[in-house]
Structure 1
Amino acid sequence: MNLTLDQIQDFKGKYPKQIWSLFFSEMWERFCFYGMRGMLVFFMISELKFDDEKANLQYGATQAFVYAFTFVGGLFADKILGFRKSLFWGGLLMIVGSLILATNPHDFFFLGISFTVVGTGFFKPNISTMVGKLYRGDDSRRDAGFSLFYAGINLGALLGGYLCIAIGKGEMLTNIIPEDKRWNVAFGLAAIVMVISLINFVFTQRRLGPIGLMPQKIAADGTLIPTEKWKIYGVYALTLLFVPLIMIMVSVPQYTDYFMWTVGPLTLIYLFFEMSKVSAPERNKLWAALVFIIFSILFWGIYEQSGGSLSIFAANNLNKDLLGLDPNGVNNSGGAFFIIFLAPLLGLLWIWLSKRRLEPNTLIKFGLGFIFLGLGYYVLFATRFFADLQGVTSLNIFTIALLVITFGELCLSPIGLSIMTKLSTEKLQGMMMGLWFLASAYGQYVAGIIGANMATAKEGSSNMDALIAYTEGYKQLGLYAVLAGVILMVISPFVKKLMQDVR
């Protein structure tokens, strides 16, 4: 099926048909990723015997490298491999990492995690970029497409986020899985679904036409020059060399500090170099993209307590008054559950408002994202008013907080993916998407530090003291989020000028 790019982008209706194949590949990859993420802190505390502070710092370091490596994956895709080969290579590495953890998670934890980190870096930014390629630059349906794609992400997150931790903890299939094999099965499940993701992509990629193919140079006579084989194999070899380096870095959080203080400035210097080679209008758009990227660091630093401090809070301070469900499973998958239903509806709302010229600009959407995030954390603070004398509070109220936070995520994250593809130049698509995820890396890094500080505050205290300390911290985070939302709305006219014709 040799479709041209114009044929793909000239689709009728609300969504291009190619989005569904990318939807399912991303869904299973996110099952793997969120299944892993949901197990990290609990596994480190219960099986590796880390204390709460160390587990939070370790979680922040691991997640920071996951997102930081998306910048590397996007860069290699732009320059050498193309999006399709990058995606497939990343998926293979994720499978290897999951199989290592399934074999012996206690002895080879950091080795398996390191393969997963590098693999995610090649997979995640490039499939999102291909979704952007399905639309013309001025197509108002793009935000709706990314909202639908985001629903696929969260269907995988819902399944993986609940099932993996529930199996590992022994909340599910206890009559089938021996106690000493629960974590092996949980990690092995992540490997199985990743295989499904790659099989789906291999058999549906022909519908993508030229999207995601390897970049080619054009000779003076107009002929296309294919990428040299040594460059391709060099990327594969260099990737494998990254694995032991990443293993050392994530196992010692202090090394993460050095990395994060180095890679950000270097990345900005490289971006400024690339910006010097583009036209003034293109440069203004890239400056606007940087505003979104910087604010997203704060957003993810607050939001990503779900994998760190909220994981500990769920284990120690929540009851099972929501249908008897496991609190850690709800914490890992509750937001994804809400997104599955709300994302398509919100995407259709943007289309409806756009037709009536009432759709808020992207800065306003970002601002609303922060405000909902802040309100959600105020609800987390309110859980203290429903606690018993043992410091155990309502999972129902906690879940309401997840619902409010989900509205914030939907206003920011899928729109962020969309705006990166709109504001990027053609040759910097992969790099800017990688930079968006690099900002997420800094958010994860900040989230780990915040969670560690909360854990330090409750050290040696009663469970009620722990609940008071955590909820007080969540109130402060809620205030910071609301203030950031207000600032974004105030500066909206200025950034809108930089964006020019982009909405």
Structure 2
Amino acid sequence: MWERFTFYGMRALLGLYISHLILTADYKPLEPAELEAKKIEFQKQNHEELTKDHPRYYIETSQLKYKDAAESRSNKQYGLIQAFIYAMAFVGGMFADKIFGFRKSVFWGGILMAIGTFTMALPGAFPFYLGVSILIVGNGFFKPNISTMVGALYRPGDPRRDAGFSLFYSGINIGALLSGLTIAYIGTSVSWSLGFALAGVCMLCGLALFMFTQKTLGPIGLPPVPEKLKEKKAGISRNMWVYILSIVFMPFFFVLVYFPFDIDFTFLFGQDTNDAGELVPYMVQFSDLFMISIAVIIFGFLVYTMFNVAKEEKSKMFVAVVLILFSVLFWSFFEQGGGSLNFFAIGNVDSHGLNMTQVNNSVNALWVVLAAPLVGMLWIALNKRKAEPNTVVKFGLGFVFLGLGFLVFYFSKFMANDGGYTPLWTFVFAYLVITIGELCLSPIGLSMVTKLTPNRLHGVMMGTWFLASAYGQYGAGLIGSALAKVDTSIKNPTNLDKLEQYTNGYQSIAYIAIGAGIVLLLISPILKKQMKGAG
């Protein structure tokens, strides 16, 4: 729970703070009359004064075209950072499987996450991105392995497994809810630095709790072969190599997030066209090339692994891989919550005096906390009647509800006022529908990985599940970046134009998500046969 407090607190502030850094470095303020009008509107919407020392001052008072450009850049960078956070889970899972054990990995990851968030709290872009780099590595060790330990609490075939993961999911969302109510508010209304620092303090609380309660776990999470920890390579123990390599990763991620650079691919793809219709070199950001390369490597690894397991295990793993690939699409849409929906909430939802960053980053968690136990009990009740839908059907339902939620966002534009602000209740209701979809897929997905893969591959496959989330985050950043761009043919865009841009994008997301859900429901009988009773 405390780790989720830290993670979701960081997530709530990440995109907005990046936008703040961009706009602060190249500040283009509104005209004096517009500036005064903005201050009045801000006070009306938020019930607080917009002064120069307010955390969101530069975001709120920049000219709209510069604000849009900053939103677009920060959405992509947000997605990239989140992608690296989840991608590192694959590496963390392998280290835990082969050397460290889950328990030790969780503790080391937690320490790095605390250091990372405290570093992010320091003023300026350099310490912020340095802290992000440390956080990326720490989360990679923590996130997949704590989930795997939950799976280890249940024996194979235990019908309580799905319900157990739903309750686990509810528990971690209590942390997400609390962070949305506290860190999101403190960071965007009091001080960015205090928000990040509070996240670090809570991570330390979580580590202390983990240390005092780990005796109750028995042998769960201990190193697979303790003797191997002391084996030496080049005079250094395997145990120490894990620490060294995890630190080596940090400057690599720092370069990717702090010094984004492009590679000229004109020789391969020809010239590109910019927003003004001019021919320019076809440039590909190195980080994009890196993500594509890693995707190819991981897919090859999964294919290789599938061909080196028993026949029955192979068919189960095939289903797991199919569902993991679908989950990339799901997270690309769902994770608009940390990117474009954060900006949409601030700029296009009538707040009624509430802090909309706080609302956006707590309402989903609130619905999870309230609904997860009910969904868990529903699966148990249906299982007793032998009517529980299989894993593939649950995935399909997850997509359908996700799409319906984004349709609510789309239709909210027809209820907007003249200023381009939509009703708060539609925003909250849309998240309820999306949360139902999330509960059909995400906790069940965690359970699916442990059910459909051999025990010896649980850590790696759990890492692969989070790697799919990484590419979902990456896709979310690309989608959010596109949604933030108002049509360049509009000379003086207004908030209504911004609303139109966002909601039309959400309509497209809705149709694709519902379509994917229908496909999964149609192929579920075929995949169920391949699951050999495991789903």
Q: Same fold (TM over 0.5)?
A: yes
Structure 1 CA distance, aligned partners of 2:505 and 2:433? 18
**Correspondence for 2:524:** 492
Structure 2 CA distance, aligned partners of 1:286 and 1:406? 27
**Correspondence for 2:348:** 317
**248-257 or 283-292: bigger deviation:** 248-257
Q: 1:96 to 1:164 in 2, by over 3 A?
A: same
Q: Structure 1 counterpart of 2:463, which letter?
A: G
- For 1:303-382, list aligned pairs within 5 A: 303-321=334-352, 324-382=353-411
Structure 2 CA distance, aligned partners of 1:103 and 1:453? 30
Match of 2:247 among 240, 244, 258: 240
**How large is the Cα RMSD of the aligned pairs?**
1.4
**Correspondence for 1:185:** 194
What do the CA deviations read for 1:441-486 (whole angstroms, capped 9, x no partner)?
Answer: 1111111111111112356521101101110110110000000000
Alignment: residue pair count:
459
Other structure's SS at 1:457 match: coil
Q: TM-score, normalised by structure 2?
A: 0.84
Offset, 1:273: 2.4
Q: Structure 1 counterpart of 2:76, which letter?
A: L
Match of 1:228 among 227, 231, 244: 231
Match of 1:85 among 99, 104, 110: 104
Verify: 1:133 aligned to 2:140, yes or no.
Answer: no
Offset, 1:501: 1.8
Structure 2 CA distance, aligned partners of 1:385 and 1:279? 55
Q: Structure 1 counterpart of 2:434, which letter?
A: I
**363-372 or 98-107: bigger deviation:** 98-107
Offset, 1:43: 1.0
- For 1:88-127, list aligned pairs within 5 A: 88-127=107-146
Offset, 1:318: 1.1
Q: Tell me which structure has the larger Cα radius of gyration.
A: 2
Other structure's SS at 1:68 match: helix
Q: Structure 2 counterpart of 1:435, which letter?
A: T
Say if 1:381 and 1:472, in contact at 8 Å, map to a contact too.
yes
Other structure's SS at 1:51 match: helix
Q: Structure 1 counterpart of 2:107, which letter?
A: F
Structure 1 CA distance, aligned partners of 2:231 and 2:2? 32
Structure 2 CA distance, aligned partners of 1:226 and 1:123? 19
Gaps of 5+ in 2: 24-68, 262-284
Structure 2 CA distance, aligned partners of 1:408 and 1:342? 11
**276-285 or 340-349: bigger deviation:** 276-285
Other structure's SS at 1:389 match: coil
**Correspondence for 1:221:** none
Verify: 1:470 aligned to 2:502, yes or no.
Answer: yes
**Correspondence for 1:178:** none
Q: 1:458 to 1:29 in 2, by over 3 A?
A: farther
Say if 1:214 and 1:227, in contact at 8 Å, map to a contact too.
no
Runs of 4+ in 1 over 6 A off after TM superposition: none
Say if 2:90 and 2:464, in contact at 8 Å, map to a contact too.
yes
Offset, 1:272: 2.4
Other structure's SS at 1:491 match: helix
Structure 2 CA distance, aligned partners of 1:151 and 1:207? 21
Q: TM-score, normalised by structure 1?
A: 0.89
Say if 1:35 and 1:190, in contact at 8 Å, map to a contact too.
yes
Structure 1 CA distance, aligned partners of 2:110 and 2:156? 29
Q: Structure 1 counterpart of 2:225, which letter?
A: Q
What do the CA deviations read for 1:140-193 (whole angstroms, capped 9, x no partner)?
Answer: 0000100000001111111112321211121xxx5xxxxxxx111111100011
- For 1:259-278, list aligned pairs within 5 A: 259-278=290-309
Q: Structure 1 counterpart of 2:311, which letter?
A: A
Say if 2:306 and 2:318, in contact at 8 Å, map to a contact too.
no
Offset, 1:311: 1.0
Verify: 1:256 aligned to 2:299, yes or no.
Answer: no
**452-461 or 148-157: bigger deviation:** 452-461
**Correspondence for 1:6:** none
**Correspondence for 2:70:** 51
Structure 1 CA distance, aligned partners of 2:506 and 2:4? 27
Structure 2 CA distance, aligned partners of 1:375 and 1:349? 21
**Correspondence for 1:406:** 435
- For 1:140-159, list aligned pairs within 5 A: 140-159=159-178
